[in-house]
Homo-oligomer: A and B are copies of this chain.
Amino acid sequence: MTTDKPLRADAQRKREALLATAREVFDAGGFFDLRFDDFARLAGVGTGTLYRHFPTREALAEAVYHGEVAALCDRAHRLQATLPAAEALATFLRGMVDHIAAHEGLARTLATLWADRSGAPAEGSRALEQAVTDLVAAAVQEGAVRDDVDAGAVMMALHGIGAAHDRPNWRAEADDVITLVLDGLRRPQ
């Protein structure tokens, strides 16, 4: 499905310059407030080039955070391989909140990518969802988690954590959401 035509040398250079700029702006927290065309100016390329590489702001955000999200997913796989499934799930969800808390821009990015109703969901979203689904399925298999609740519900709760990122008491509430989800998932013995 991924048509990977080999990118020309200069194209690769410009693309990387754009990504570097985007990363900087991201870390500075201004990603969603910067005029989109200005990413081009800051990276020293033309606006046409910007739009050719990243047709929308969301595409750029997705590219910048592709690494972050991939890291999250890798972590899920590692946990799943080394811990009992229920613990893996708990550790992953707790760690996800940590991770979001540590990266100012991530919550807003995830919320934006998730809310993006324009056609296909971003690759990053898909991967993350798959990771969560796998973790839940394993925990169900193991018998530690009820089987009458869809893994999608956990994703929805994560949506909430991302979407609500500017609530004053975000961190504590996010932790509490995870607590509710985990306790709610425990198989009623």
Contacts and interface: CB of A to CB of B under 8 A. Distances in A.
Interface of A: 111, 114-115, 117, 149-150, 152-164, 166-167, 169, 172-174, 176-177, 179-185, 188
A181 B166 CA distance: 21
Given A111-B163, A160-B158, A166-B117, A152 B173 contact: yes
A177 B156 CA distance: 7
A183 to B, nearest CB: 4
A167 B183 CA distance: 24
A176 B151 CA distance: 9
Given A156-B157, A163-B163, 11 more contacts: A149-B179, A149-B180, A150-B176, A152-B169, A152-B176, A153-B173, A157-B160, A157-B177, A162-B163, A180-B181, A184-B184
A174 B153 CA distance: 7
A166 B176 CA distance: 25
Nearest to A180: B184
A176 B160 contact: no
12 contacts: A114-B164, A150-B176, A152-B169, A153-B173, A156-B167, A156-B174, A157-B157, A158-B160, A180-B181, A180-B185, A181-B184, A183-B184
Most central of A114, A179, A180, A185 by chain B CB within 10 Å = A180
